[in-house]
Amino acid sequence: MSQNILYVDACINRNSSRTDRLAHMYLSRCGFDGSKITHRVLEDYPIRMLNGSLLKFRNLMIEKKDYSDRLFDLAKEFSKADEIIVAAPYWDLSFPAMLKCYLEQLSVNGITFRIGGNGEFEGLCKAKRLIYITSSGGYIGDCNYGFYYIRALCRMFGIEETICYKAEGLDIDGVDVNAVLQKVAEQF
């Protein structure tokens, strides 16, 4: 079945990212043939950080339910995807700040979620599943804070399932990076 797949690429080491390699292994193994895959490279996208004036403008537009400004494009794209893959290296127990800026842009009342009369969140995203792919120099253990945060946001967006695949220990001397990536890919 033709699907609309969104690959959110928050990998910073362009051309040499192991996280991006793992994400591509996922995309090629998961039978998305015939599907439209949008590769959203965050480093190439002019994400505007939410400062005081931008927040004021955004709140005004949300109040008017006018989502025509390109500030809302990423949220619309995310909300319409059938499946979402997010790839981000493990940085300082989480992920690069660029991804946080992206997630702030997504969290738009009226596009990715809605707040009901009793203050409850109602998810508005089409995707049933988000796959989070990361790689780390050492071992993540129970400090997978970037994933935990995205998983919580997904609940707010109405995305029921979040799965994390992680390739760990890649910066340890003597590690066979290809073997580690292959081993993780066996779980797909």
Binding residues (CB under 6 A) for ligand FMN: these are 11-13, 17-20, 89-93, 135-138, 170-171
Query: Is the Cβ of residue 79 or residue 135 nearer to ligand FMN in the bound state?
Result: 135
Query: Is the Cβ of residue 33 or residue 173 nearer to ligand FMN in the bound state?
Result: 173
Query: CB within 8 A of 157, min separation 6: which ones?
Result: 78, 79, 106, 112, 113, 123, 124, 125
Query: Is the Cβ of residue 108 or residue 170 nearer to ligand FMN in the bound state?
Result: 170
Query: Is the Cβ of residue 105 or residue 135 nearer to ligand FMN in the bound state?
Result: 135
Query: What Rg value do the Cα atoms of the chain yield, rounded?
Result: 17
Nearest distance from C-beta of residue 80 to ligand FMN, angstroms? 27
β strands within 1-120, DSSP E: 4-9, 36-41, 83-87, 113-115
Nearest distance from C-beta of residue 138 to ligand FMN, angstroms? 3
How far apart are the C-alpha atoms of 117 and 148, rounded to whole Å?
27
Nearest distance from C-beta of residue 177 to ligand FMN, angstroms? 8
How far apart are the C-alpha atoms of 132 and 145, rounded to whole Å?
12
Task: Count CB-CB contacts under 10 A for residue 170.
Answer: 18
Nearest distance from C-beta of residue 172 to ligand FMN, angstroms? 9
How far apart are the C-alpha atoms of 60 and 12, rounded to whole Å?
33
Query: Is the Cβ of residue 24 or residue 76 nearer to ligand FMN in the bound state?
Result: 24
Nearest distance from C-beta of residue 43 to ligand FMN, angstroms? 12
